Structure 1
Amino acid sequence: MGRAEERRARQRGGRRAAPKRSSGAERTVGSPSVGGRAAARGRAAKNRKSGIRRFFTWKSVLGTLFGFVLLGMGAFVLLYLTTPIPAGNAAATLQSNVYKYSDGSILARTGEVNRENVDLAEVPKEVQHTFVAAENKTFYQDAGVDLKGTARGLLNTVSGKGAQGGSTITQQYVKNYYLNQNQTVTRKLKELVISLKLDRQKSKEYILAGYINTSYYGRGAYGIQAAAQAYYRKDAKDLTVEEGAYLAALLQAPSQYDWAVATGTGKKLVQNRWNYVLDNMVGQHWLDAGKRTAMKFPVPKAPKGAPGMEGQTGYLVDAANASLERQLVSQGTAASIGDAEALVKSGGWTITVNIDKKKQAELEQAVKDRLTSKLNPKKRSVDGDVQPGAVSVDPKTGRVLAMYGGVDYLKHFTNNATRRDYQPASTFKPLILAAAVDEQAKTQDDRAITANTIYDGTSGRPVKGSAIAFAPPNEDDQDYGDITVQKAMNQSVNSVFAQMGVDVGMDNVMKVAKDLGMDTKGMQAVPAQTLGSMGASPLEMAGVYATLDNHGRKVTPAIIKSAEHKDRTVTMPDPIGDQVISREAADTVTSVLTGVVDDGTAKVSVRDNPSRDGQQVAGKTGTSDNNKSAWFTGFTPDLVTSVGLFGENAKTHAQVTLQGATGLLPAPGRINGGGYPAQIWAAYTFEAMGEVTKFDLETTQGAAVQPTVSPTVTQSPTTSPSTTPTTQPPTTKPPTSAPATTPGTQPPTTKPPTSAPATTAPVTTPPITPRNPLDPNQGQ
């Protein structure tokens, strides 16, 4: 390279010219090489990156963040300076709530506030400490706010996750007395500012007194004085530490923790919180450890209903309130059930329920005619322990059309229609069959489970294939031998369904139960559940059977039609949900359950009822251990009703037997589901159902009035019969005579099916008469 070339190279940045290629045409003079273009792009990208780095240096990022912090601090200072402590509104904003029937007529008006303020000096010091121990252990030392909790709440509100706990007693008092329960960023910021100001201007004693006097404790009680009277029939000044700890624990979830209406889970939770409160007091040196060890949980007294809520009104209002409160929490309007209760109790609501006034009256009359008019507690003490409950649902819309909560809200506070502390017993059996069909389950010897599958119905027979031993007896220890699933359902044979549950898999059974609408939280998937040993309510069971009636599409019973308020919008969820089990499974169970009415445990009360008038009916009876509950849940194509009777000691409210009630039953005096519950159901349904209807079922299984000769082992098929007709015709001929005018006065008769014939198990002798599950004239 010459000197001139070297000089030019240095001018270009010290790079030597690229050597010429040994082959190929010479490049045109002035044309850049490929390497040159790449180098140019690299330099440009490097220059761009250098520019970005110069713009986003750590100093600039830190400066920006610092600027935002300063801006936020300035905004907060401005908010602090411009936000005064407002006048208290806890009493001034309370209004009436208006409740209406579905037709718009008035059901009730509520709004009278049960509150009586007391000076903090009237509340024992140790009782004061229970509230601090429950809600805010650092109350006496903090500045009135929990910055971490407030920041978390703000973040959750902005992100739409709802609210979380963590507020101080001062913040809760500000929310209760000066502001409201709305979950908005503006309200939370105001709460923070006012809490800081209040803590600077007022004493801790002033704030604590305000807090315990404005909080809502459930049972319509605002403030500690009203709560002391509502739960312990005493003044606040006479409360013990144990009682104060219970009232303090209540504030987290008043309805869920009210001992009178709490579920088993609710009772465990409130006891845990009660222990938490007392243990915190020991930790704060407010309570002697020895005294703490000797303390026992103070069970509250039974509640009394509010004036104006007599009869069924209070039950309906409470059920509507509970539904609205759950929705307020679900949509993020309220942080907790406790806050939602306060929102509802503050008033201003117009709540229209789905209750049909005519059907409501018919249900009440049916209970009176068939049961309560026969009860005489003065003559028989057990009669005072009988608690009826019932719910009626439209399976196509999910609307709760009628509800019976008890003889009188002012005499018995607990709503028997929504309580979940009694076993549904054999009304659970259809859910096992639903799981079997939906899961296409098979028996231990690999036979498909259908209405015609044969099981061993021996009483007390140990189940096979279970790691947990279980051998349930049948009612009255009756042996049935080899029996079809259809007849086992008709006669409610425990041993069959215990084995079926194991065959299906109890995990599958409980999953289907949950899908159908049962609350299975905390329930173990064990064989004992096949007997319906869990807790359930008539409302819950009505929803489960409504889902079956709705061909497997989920029905969640809805008590509220609409809820309106000037300050907030509430959209109630659609009661009709997704398909949760196959239509074939749902319709097969419905078909089988017609056999319970026509040839099973409900035939006397339902099949033979003169008001039936040819109406197709499906249903299931249930009688729990020791006769503590008795059920009938049944349905027509347009109406599902669940009726339960519960044995509850009139004084202690403990579960007791129903045996011997009314004095009209022969020995042993047991009240079965096929007795009073089925009678109430029939009296109500056949009055309220309207025109006679038929089920539209897509199944060829079940619904059979069984032959008089039970099948034997040699007659059982090696595999389950197909659900579709075979090429071989049935071995029997259906009778041609018409059904009797009065159901039950002569053997059931049939006519030839117009659709595919029902599948029956192959037999040798004797011939079995097939039954078309879609024909309403058969088996009545």
Structure 2
Amino acid sequence: MVSQGKSAGSALGAFFGFIGISCVVGVLMAGVGIPAAGVAASGTKSGIKVFNSLPATLSEKPLAQSSTMLAADGSVIAKFYWENRIEEPLSKISKTVQDATVATEDYRFFQHGGVDLQGIARAAVHDVLSPNLQGASTLTQQYVKNVLVEQAAEGGDSKKAAARVAKVTDSSGMSGISRKLRQAKLAIAIEKKYSKKEILNRYLNINNYGGSPRQYGVEAASRHFWGIHASKLSIPQAALLAGIVKDPSAFNPETHPKAALNRRNTVLHLMHEHGYINASQYAQAKKTGLNLNIHETSNGCANAGISAYFCDYVEQTIATSPQFGKTVSDRLGLLTRGGLTIKTTLDPKLEHSAQRIVSGRVPDTDPSGVGQALTTVQPGTGKVLAMVQNRKYSVAPKPKDGYTSVNYNVGKKLHGGSGFQVGSTYKVFTLAAWLKDGHTLHDRVDATRRNFPASSWTYKGCPKNAGAWDPHNSEDGEGTSSMSALTATVQSVNTAFAAMANEINMCDIQGAAKKLGVRWGNGKSLDAKNANGSIPALFPSSVLGTVTTTPLDMASAYAAFADKGKYCAPVGITSITNAKGKKLPVPSANCHQAISKKIATGVAWALTQTFNGGTTEDLKIGMPAGAKTGTTNFSVGAGWLDGFTKGMSTAVWTGSPTGNDPALGNGRIPVGGHYYGPNYGAAISGPTWQAFMKQNAKRYKVGKFAKPGNDILGYTPPPEPPEPTTNPDQESNDSGEPSSPSSTSSSPSSDPTTTEPSSPSSSKSSPPSRTTAPTTKPTNAPHPPPSHPVHNGHGGNNGHGHGHGGH
């Protein structure tokens, strides 16, 4: 192998190098049992002792290979690699690149036993007489060196790895000679362990073939430079790859095409000289250019386009799952080095549709800074079918407006935030506990606004966390004195749900949410205590949705109602196979009956009725569905819509990613160029949910939700008296109480509960009409993406202060 030129002044150094090499030759000859005259010198005897003490076996780990993440339809989402490599057997590697490699790197490869003593002597004489240095390492020795370099580069920070690599590649002084001897001895051992073809195969798979980014192994290099398999390499292509190995940086054809071309022609000359190609092939190959057709090889989720947040969710799932390794480092090492094929649950058609709808309603660069996120889960399987938000993915330390790495759909453990208050979407857990306690949908409750003393709350089986609570509806409405649980659900009446919760065990409400997978956004159980030692998820105010959780958790919980109470933990991975095709265990959905079928049937049917004069009246999708709106206290400013068909459960959140936003909650800022009024669940999140489900729900199972039996439905009373007529200029709350549009803002309270409107004429909720924003741009700039969203918790005084709202 020919190396770089030297000055005439280095001839003396080459001469002494010759003397040193002669000693090495003597050591090698003696060490491997080759007789030779004059090998009895004391220096050589010492060298033999050193040689014999060197390790005789090479520890070989599997080569790092790139992993591929696939969508459900087999399309590529992303690739992950430490070294972009795809191992192939010799039978799938072009004979031309095998020949080019042997001709260039070690034309006596098939004659020697791992160390070419003839080549060493030839190189020593050449280096004394010629201005150009010539190497003498065999292809087998180079393979050994590559293995040692690969192992040195693994683990730790980049500076430490670089220092280790420098150490194993240093050839100066006595330590350099010792390392050369070690490599030689290991090469001899490798020759005894593997056939020549196996050594050549391993060499072709381990090499650095340059490129930007670097490509390792001939298969990855072939795909990168020309978009072809290594089995299809032509003579000039094979010569280029064989030539790059000598110095992958200097002969990188992307950055140094002239140097690469000259080097390729040198290889063609060697191929001709050693009889691997004839004169005609040589002449024709030299005339061709490099003819590169670069195929970019992306690395990581940053290049996954609109699926970047789902990609990040899957990556973080691997990083946090113990079945993939003992530590996070081990797990990510498996991802970037293990050659995995990761098949996921993502439906690209749903994903594209969701992103188009979300970004269309709330653009990523909207001056409001408002965030919107959507997650869809399949009932009965837990498969995450879509996961998007109105941001572009970026891992930059200080991302631009409209960019973030924080996934609003998941919790902190999975690279998300701390979750968002869910408002009245949480009421389904009270309804489930209500039915479990033996009540029915037509049982009536007193929805009059009143103060509930601490002593009135029941806690059986969990710590008491009660305090006096004075909940109320939109604009301090008093509510009707009596209504059914079904009407309370359809119209989302806060005071009615407070009364329902007051009649049953608070532990059962929290228990229902826990059984259906709901956790705090930080990943902690709903049993978690705050700094005061209290459990916020057991505060009476939690009934109205002060718990901060994620769209993924809520979509999964609602999916259980769609599937008769069977809860499946959300999963993004269907299978993983390693480089050898072996299947690895993946996180399980662990589908099980979390709540009884009849209770789930009752809740699901009740949620279908919200489309009949309720808060989702204007959000029908043309097929059977159940849904619930959610609106936080206006000082928090978040709006939700959670709903399902038989085959899809979708949660949509709209709010501030950086914290509470009273301006958004009260409707004082335009979103997407429109004033929606207060951020009720049906105002912005609702239409997003509706558009997405209407367009996509038929792709999965659809069907009517059964009406529950009388033990759940209960006695149907006579129709309730009509609500009093209200001023048409006023907007009524969810219990039918009128409220003035000019005073829709809520003063901050110690309990961030919720608000939601309904039409006076039909007791239904409809999104405020979209009014075009003024032509002058608002002065408020979008909030910069945070490290994680921040939200109010339960409010002061153990969450028992008064609040207002409803979803």
The one of the two structures with greater contact order (alpha-carbon pairs below 8 A, sep at least 6) is: 2
